[in-house]
A and B are shown apart, each in its own frame.
Chain A
Amino acid sequence: MSTQPMTPTAPPRRRSGNDGASARRRGHRSAAEARAGLLLSLPFVLLFGVFIAWPVVQSMFMSFTDMRISDIRTPFAVDFVGVDNYVTAFQDPVFRRAAANTGVFVLGGVPLTIIAGLAAAVALDRGVSRLRSVFRIGFYTPVITSIVAVAVVWRFLLQPDNGLVNTVLGWVGIDGPNWLGDERTALLSLIVMAVWRNFGTSMVIFLAGLQAVDRGLHEAAALDGANAWQRFRNITVPSIRPTLLFVLVTTSIGYLQFFEEPFVMTGGGPLNSTISASMYTYNQFGFGNYGVAGAMAYLTFIVIGIVTLVQFRLMREK
């Protein structure tokens, strides 16, 4: 990270004699500009330092100590334990299970969210002219709703006996499972719910990205006999590559921190089949194991960093 300060005063340029006065004025002005810049930044930077930047550093520190809830009043009077907390995390079978669940959630949820968002955006951009904003608002509504409210409603809809989902399945002769209570379907249910809750965001971003697609090119290709899928594949997708990368990266970052869905819907069960890395980290915090929780949080951070980097590499090269 560059810590080189910007030069506060522009070097005076002396080309002719009467430039001196204006150079001095410029010097004054740059000093005033620097003062104003610092003054306007100060409130944000102070709060940011106290409530975000410092906690990030402290969290790192904490992950190498044996800090527990009993040390909360004296967070610095703790012993260093090296990488013990990280070793503990890797050796914990529940954490490994949680990491695997998170992987399944990301690998299943991210593509589905992107496909649903892109499909909705393309349909709204090309397929329909009337009612466009009605569809857009409807598809975006799940994004703006509280996860707690969503959980209440979805748990009700997914009930095994008189839930709406199984009732509808019953009409076509399918005996629906106990969605959230069965190890085999619980994580799947949460993935579907997450896609429902998040595809609206990617749809909106894709809609903006699709403005960059050249319609003339589409028409020319159609005249040459390219079908809709070929045109989508060879014209639309390359044109929205930056948008695709952005959606891929932000969705992945969000899903790697998968937390609220299992927390409010299943509590991580049944039999740890839906517990996520973030949720287990939070549980460790709840148990008072601050050092271990800090290490787990940093592990998630490292994975996010790596995944982001890899995605940038892959998408840029093509």
Chain B
Amino acid sequence: MIERRSPVLTYIVLTVFLLLVITPFVWMILGSVKTQGELLRVPPTWIPEEPTWDNFRRLFDRPFAQYFRNSAVVAIAVTLGNLFFSSMFGYALAHLQFPFKRALFILVLLCLMIPGLVTFIPQYVLVVNLGLANTIPALILPFLVQPFSVFLMRQFFLGLPRELLEAGRIDGVGEVAIFFRIYLPLAGPAFATLGILTFLGSWNNFLWPLVVSSDESTYTLPVALALISTGQNQTDYGLLLAGATLIVLPILIVFLFFQRHFIQGIATTGIK
């Protein structure tokens, strides 16, 4: 490019901006290994003077291992469900002709715009009447099918050549088998994107589990942290920062590994 006014300036501005953006995370992680005395000091300190695992130990004295497991089970089930159901439906919408196809697709698209609170109360009523209140399945079932997932998978399968389908037919492969044996094995990139996005959404999901779970045995991490941060421990900053770190760190690690898929996925679904 021409006439570039000092890239150094751009770097400086971006770096300052970056530091501002990530300060809360650095603060959180450093704070999680500080003592309560140090956390309350004025002025605040940056580097922990006597690093300690005490906050995490106290966290796991509570059933936080259980909450972690609940969060993981729910997120994995929701992710697998979305991959499975949405890829089947998305493929059918992209490549097959069948009755009511257009109507079904429009219906799903309309639901992309509907605010969560519209479905919230009837879903709650439904779960209570099915006898599922306060169970793990109640945290999974309403999220197994999401309009966004179908939209993403349909876009992906539209991008795969139709010739594969024709070739499969000529070779005498059954219509359903064409999907499972020819198209599904090619869906890796879309699965990576959708998998990460739904896992993330489920892991961070807060409102629904808060309302549906009233017993410790079904708490997820965000629910548990929200409850201790508003209860009698609300000034136990060490405990709270350790809890926040426990929620954020696994996602941060996954993100660093798969950031290319994350970012490409969001970019492509945003553009198409």
Contact = CB atoms under 8 A, between A and B. Distances in A.
Given A123-B13, A152-B240, A73 B206 contact: no
Contact of B107 (A53, A281, A290, A297): A53
Given A36-B179, A243-B270, A253 B113 contact: yes
Interface stretch (A4-12, A106-114, A174-182): A4-12
Nearest to B153: A44
Given A6-B99, A47-B85, A156-B237, A278 B115 contact: yes
Nearest to A55: B122
A75 B21 CA distance: 47
B117 A44 contact: no
Contacts of A140: 255, 259, 262-263
Q: Which interface residue of A44, A55, A208, A282 has the most chain B CB atoms within 10 A?
A: A44
A297 to B, nearest CB: 4
Given A140-B262, A147-B204, A152 B125 contact: no
Contacts of B145: 44, 47-48, 51-52
Given A5-B100, A208-B268, A301-B118, A41 B113 contact: no
B68 interface: no
Given A36-B179, A128-B11, A222-B3, A72 B128 contact: yes
B28 interface: yes
Contacts of B91: 40
A242 B272 CA distance: 10
A194 interface: no
A51 B86 CA distance: 15
A59 interface: yes
Interface stretch (A14-22, A79-87, A89-97, A257-265): A257-265
B241 A1 contact: no
Contact of A257 (B5, B116, B241, B271): B116
Contacts of B263: 136, 140, 204, 207
B123 to A, nearest CB: 5
A148 B200 contact: no
A148 B244 contact: yes
Contacts of B96: 33-34, 36-37, 40
B14 interface: yes
A230 B234 CA distance: 52
Given A152-B243, A156-B31, A243 B98 contact: no
A50 to B, nearest CB: 8
A70 interface: no
B80 interface: no
Nearest to A155: B229
B156 to A, nearest CB: 15
B98 A38 contact: yes
A257 B122 contact: no
B11 A44 contact: no
Nearest to B175: A36
Interface string B18-46: 10011111011001000000001111100
Contact of A148 (B85, B104, B229, B245): B229
Interface string A140-177: 11101111111111101100011110010010000000
A144 B255 contact: yes
B51 interface: no
B252 interface: yes
A267 to B, nearest CB: 8
Contact of A153 (B24, B111, B175, B266): B24
Nearest to A215: B1
Interface string B78-104: 000000111011011100111111111
Contact of B14 (A43, A54, A55, A135): A135
Given A40-B176, A162-B44, A207 B267 contact: yes
A247 B25 CA distance: 26
A141 B22 contact: yes
A302 B117 CA distance: 13
Contacts of B222: 146-149
A305 interface: yes
B93 to A, nearest CB: 8
A152 B27 CA distance: 11
Q: Which 7 A-B pairs have the closest CB atoms?
A: A37-B98, A36-B175, A208-B267, A55-B122, A127-B10, A149-B244, A37-B96
Interface of B: 1-5, 7, 10-11, 13-14, 17-18, 21-25, 27-28, 31, 40-44, 84-86, 88-89, 91-93, 96-104, 106-108, 110-111, 113-126, 128-129, 141-142, 144-145, 147, 150, 169, 174-176, 178-179, 200, 203-204, 206-207, 221-222, 225-226, 229, 237, 240-241, 243-245, 247-248, 251-252, 255-256, 259, 262-263, 266-268, 270-271
19 contacts: A34-B98, A37-B97, A41-B89, A47-B85, A47-B141, A75-B122, A146-B204, A146-B248, A147-B204, A148-B229, A149-B222, A153-B244, A156-B241, A157-B27, A162-B42, A167-B44, A170-B43, A294-B118, A298-B118
Interface of A: 1-8, 29-30, 32-41, 43-45, 47-48, 50-56, 58-59, 62, 72-73, 75, 120, 123-124, 126-128, 131, 133-142, 144-154, 156-157, 161-164, 167, 170, 196, 201, 204-205, 207-209, 215, 218-219, 222-223, 228, 242-243, 246-247, 250, 253, 256-257, 259-260, 263-264, 278, 281-282, 285, 290, 293-294, 296-298, 300-301, 304-305, 308
